[in-house]
Amino acid sequence: MQDANNVKTIAVIAGNISNEFCRDLVEGIRNAIPPTGGINIAVLPGEVLIRGKRTENNWQYDAMFNGIYSLGYQCKPDGLIVFGGSMGWIVEEKDFKEFLDSFGDIPKVVLTSTIEDQITVNYDNESGIKEAIDYLVNANGFTKICMLGGVETNPDAVKRKEVFIKCLEENGLPFREEFYEPTNMSTHTEEQAEKLLNNNPRVEAVFCVNDTSAVGLYNVMKSRELIPGEDIMVFGFDNTRMSSEMVPSLSSVGADDVTLGKKAVQLLIDMMNGKEVESALVKTRLYGRRSLPYEMYQYTNRELLEVNETFIYRMFDDCFYRYKAASIKSSAVNLRRLYFEFISKILQAYKNRYMPYEDYEEIQRMIDVFFANGAMEYTDAEKLIDCTNRLQNAINVIQKSPAVISMINSLFIRMRDECIRQICRTNTTQRNSSFSNIKRMREHLVIGMDYAGDREKVLTAYIKNLSLEGIENGSLFMFEKPIEREDYEIVTYPEELFLKCIIKDGDVYLTPPDRQRKKTKDLLRLSFDQSRLESIAVFPVFYERITYGLLLCELNDKAYNMGGLIASSIGINMRLLLET
């Protein structure tokens, strides 16, 4: 067990972790933590604030969330990672510098922003975009390529437009303004996509500044009966998980080797250990999917016959590209090595034109173990199926032994079947979980609406049933007196708060009154010590301009998708129970 005195905490400030891009960044950070432990992650998720893009009520609601950022200096974490690109209300660099300075001398790394005198980690936008444009022009002969861009205040959006224009010109294609249409980089880009397609009726390919903006383009293309990847090639940027879930799946530019989050953690740990570091650029590459069919590697007959170790590992890294960025516990099955074992046996049988039945059964067992240990977490279903098909087709072309080819084909079928089976299980689990969550949250809401009962008893009953919100592990802290904010700037929370309950494995444990008072500066340390978790998310519990406390919960799918909503639900009931 880790000595609590030697455990360090990294706080992560993000604009919105329900956003696919931010979520992937957070997961990259978590996966980069050394598996030996010793470092905890506390995510402080606010909201993206852009006046004029939201109604005033929505803007005020989002602004209240950002009070959580004050914990970044009140709790004195050992290090800080800030998602610069998600701080929508910060337009000027001087404002961002003031924001960063408010955290004092805590070692910090800034992601997706370039700030003078700060250690930053950004994408090398050029390498991946160039790969895509060069392929479209040189391999496909395209001459009309357009771009759905971003906002002028986003440094990455500006840089990606510059790179796009440069790549066109390097390929002898002059850029014209009608080839480009700016967007707000959200999923609501239909209007801009309509305008881009209307101005370019013979467009052959569209580059979207991020994966999210491609959603609007997909919607417009569907209304026009156009298919991405067939009528118009489309690729995005960030290579988020949503890109593989879109229909058809979206090709996207993403980190080639080290992710943004992993590089940020490496630099920050060095800074926390007193080492000098420099800002870094993360190289990018194009991940081909249905919207722009593209493969980095082809499987040649010579490579297949050589049964080369490097070649097999390259296949794994190309297909299961998320695995290399994941933090794998030493006790876990080494999926990369397991893949090598059964693929090498298949290729050896292909080479020798002979497969003992004992090997056939062993390969079946290894395939089952491979998928049972989460292989699908590290790839896209379509990519895995395409990779398997290409390998199978290459073998079938010249294999002359009917018995061996029959066995090999049945193994590939088993791989595809396991892939589909795992996807169906995941979708069924998620659907059932959603129905269960709605039912449980409704039950909890009803408990807090017993207005005729004793308010103190109702409040206690409400807190005692917090697990109905779907929180498996976490804690609820309340302020002695609710905080009412006159404006929407980041505020300082009281020096003391009260631990009302701890949730462990779905069971709620009320804290005795004489043990509730805690120091705010110790909040994160206490939460990690009590929960035995290594990563948490912290959400403010508020209603309108009044903040009642803080909800800390395990960083999982529930926290990403519903953490803010759960905290808001609790805030509404606190208003009803305490102030009516």
- Most confident stretch, 104-108, 317-321, 444-448: 104-108
CB atoms within 10 A of CB 359: 16
Q: Write the Ramachandran bin of 504: left for phi over 0, alpha for psi from -120 to 50, otherwise beta.
A: beta
Average pLDDT over residues 6-27: 88
pLDDT > 50? residue 314: yes
Do you know the residue count of the chain? 580
Structure confidence by residue, pLDDT tens digits, 117-168: 899 999 999 999 999 999 999 999 999 999 999 988 788 899 999 999 999 9
Domain boundaries, the chain: 1-118+448-580, 123-259, 301-427
Q: Judge contact between 501 and 464, C-beta under 8 A.
A: yes
In a 3-state reduction of DSSP, which class is residue 287? Answer: strand
Q: With bands split at pLDDT 50, 70 and 90, how would you rate the model's confidence at 202?
A: very high
Helical packing angle, 155-170 and 125-134, nearest 10°: 40
Q: Write the Ramachandran bin of 274: left for phi over 0, alpha for psi from -120 to 50, otherwise beta.
A: left
DSSP 74-107: HS--SEEEEEGGG-TT--SHHHHHHHHHTTTT--
Q: What pLDDT, on the 0 to 100 scale, is given for residue 89? A: 47
Q: With bands split at pLDDT 50, 70 and 90, how would you rate the model's confidence at 194?
A: very high
Structure confidence by residue, pLDDT tens digits, 528-551: 877 678 899 999 999 888 999 999
Q: What residue spans of 353-401 are helical by DSSP H? A: 357-372, 381-398
Q: Write the Ramachandran bin of 6: left for phi over 0, alpha for psi from -120 to 50, otherwise beta.
A: alpha
Scanning the structure block, which residue is given the tokens 């895509």? 132
Q: What is the dotted CATH code of the domain comprising 1-118+448-580?
A: 3.40.50.2300
The tokens for 499 are 């631990």
Same fold for the pair 1-118+448-580 and 123-259: yes
How far apart CA 239 and CA 185 sit, in angstroms, is 15
CA distances (Å), origin 576, targets 48, 139, 461, 483, 580: 28, 64, 14, 16, 5
H helices then E strands: how many in the chain? 19, 17
Contacts of 418 (CB under 8 A, 6+ apart): 367, 368, 370, 371
Domain 123-259 adopts which CATH fold?
Rossmann fold (3.40.50)
Sign of CA dihedral 49, 52, 54, 57: positive
Q: What pLDDT, on the 0 to 100 scale, is given for residue 400? A: 67
Structure confidence by residue, pLDDT tens digits, 257-295: 788 999 999 999 999 999 999 999 999 999 999 999 987
Share above pLDDT 70 across residues of the chain, in percent, rounded to a whole number? 88
Q: Side chain identity at 293, as an amino acid letter?
A: P
The model carries a pTM of 0.82
Average pLDDT over residues 341-360: 92
